[in-house]
């Protein structure tokens, strides 16, 4: 429930107020979205079906920026929990803020996955594998905890009305889907046999966990849109969060198909090739439908005066997962249409990331994003 004393972290819009003290007291878990959005720019760009001179180096630099941002945020959040424990506990009990703890998991996973995709160019494959293993383990455990604890707190600690449902509620249950998509690249680096099969099937289990939980949550979100009051303008960009489980699940089945041969016995090793197409094609179609709907509502809110807030980062990571999903479909179907789609979606991702990054940097410099909420 949003109250005057503790408003939704997304509502901290950029305003210029000279003389305000910069503090981490109001640095909520929603800030991990900046890491997620930056890391996906690097990993999604690496799979594009185009060759641009210098692109690989640029993408590796973006991944390094995400890594630095992750370390800085982890340190700042540690200070937050040490010196502002009352605020941290209030976040956990606030149904508007608690779901953002899923972002911590996805930030860890996104940076770890990027290490194997592009980070290895600079730090070497052994270091990239070690870094990914640590971040994948930490991110997966954090994501599973968030997927259980946050819905539990929503049920037992607060009684929320249907009008209070927002797409933000999807964040905790989407985190295991990110693990499902980013775990398979680690499989070849494990000993052959049981270890590889166990990790791969654990990823498949997390795919099912997240998918079914999303199917439970999504009707609540759309029901609120169709029958309740419109979302507050500042929360309108969170409609893009629905793209996260759609694009990430399409990416996950692609990774299962690539990894399964030699890991699982026949005929299951080839069954994921069929699943990648039969599941990915219709889900990507729904993702494009939702992308059009969410874009129209964001444009409408912008025309009505929607200003910048941290919710604008919702336009980055979810769109990036659709890029990687389209890249996987292009490989499995051989259709140029999916190659074109991946390039177009990546252009949208770059635009959204550039705008959000510039506005966030400006808000940090003038203190607006870290100021006490109004």
pLDDT > 70: percent of the chain: 91
What string of H, E and C letters represents the secondary structure of the chain? CCCCCCCCHHHCCCCCCCCCCCCCCCCCHHHHHHHHHHHHHHHHHHCCCCCCCCHHHHHHHHHHHHHHHHHHHHHHHHHHHHHCHHHHHHHHHCCCCHHHHHHHHHHHHHHHHHHHHHHHHHHCHHHHHHHHHHHHHHHHHHHHHHHHHHHHHHHHCCCCCHHHCCHHHHHHHHHHHHHHHHCHHHHHHCCCCHHHHHHHHHHHHHHHHHHHHHHHHHHHHHHHHHHCCCCCHHHHHHHHHHHHHHHHHHHHHHHHHHHCECCECCCHHHHHHHHHHHHHHHHHHHHHHHHHHHHHHHHHHHHCCCCCCHHHHHHCHHHHHHHHHHHHHHHHHCCHHHHHHHHHHHHHHHHHHHHHHHHHHHHHHHCHHHCCCC
pLDDT in tens, 133-148: 999 999 999 999 999 9
Question: Whole-prediction pTM value?
Answer: 0.89
pLDDT in tens, 216-248: 989 888 888 888 777 888 899 999 999 999 999
pLDDT in tens, 4-51: 333 444 444 444 443 333 477 778 888 999 999 999 999 999 999 988
């Amino acid at each position: 429930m949003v109250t005057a004393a503790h408003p939704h972290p997304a509502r901290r819009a950029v305003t210029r107020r000279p003389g305000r003290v910069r503090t981490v007291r109001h640095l909520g878990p929603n800030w991990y979205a900046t890491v997620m959005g930056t890391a996906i720019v690097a990993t999604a760009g690496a799979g594009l079906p185009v060759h641009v001179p210098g692109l690989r180096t640029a993408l590796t630099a973006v991944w390094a920026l995400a890594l630095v941002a992750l370390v800085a945020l982890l340190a700042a959040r540690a200070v937050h929990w040490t010196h502002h424990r009352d605020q941290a506990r209030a976040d956990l009990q606030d149904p508007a803020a608690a779901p953002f703890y899923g972002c911590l998991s996805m930030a860890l996973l996104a940076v770890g996955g990027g290490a194997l995709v592009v980070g290895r160019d600079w730090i070497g494959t052994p270091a990239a594998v070690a870094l990914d293993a640590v971040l994948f383990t930490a991110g997966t455990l954090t994501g599973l905890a968030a997927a259980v604890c946050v819905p539990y707190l929503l049920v037992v600690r607060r009684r929320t009305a249907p009008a209070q449902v927002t797409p933000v509620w999807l964040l905790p249950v989407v985190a295991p889907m990110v693990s499902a998509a980013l775990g398979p690249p680690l499989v070849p680096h494990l000993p052959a046999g049981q270890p590889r099969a166990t990790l791969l099937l654990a990823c498949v289990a997390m795919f099912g966990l997240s998918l079914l939980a999303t199917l439970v949550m999504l009707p609540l979100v759309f029901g609120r849109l169709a029958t309740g009051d419109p979302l507050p303008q500042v929360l309108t960009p969170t409609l893009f969060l629905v793209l996260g489980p759609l694009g990430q699940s399409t990416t996950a089945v692609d990774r299962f198909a690539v990894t399964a041969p030699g890991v699982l016995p026949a005929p299951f090793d080839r069954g994921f090739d069929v699943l990648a197409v039969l599941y990915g094609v219709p889900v990507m179609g729904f993702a494009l439908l939702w992308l059009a709907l969410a874009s129209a509502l964001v444009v409408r809110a912008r025309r009505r005066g929607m200003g910048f807030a941290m919710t604008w980062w919702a336009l980055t990571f979810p769109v990036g997962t659709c890029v990687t999903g389209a890249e996987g479909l292009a490989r499995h179907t051989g259709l140029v249409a999916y190659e074109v789609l991946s390039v177009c979606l990546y252009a949208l991702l770059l635009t959204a990331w550039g705008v959000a990054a510039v506005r966030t940097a400006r808000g940090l410099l003038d203190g607006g994003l870290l100021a006490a909420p109004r």
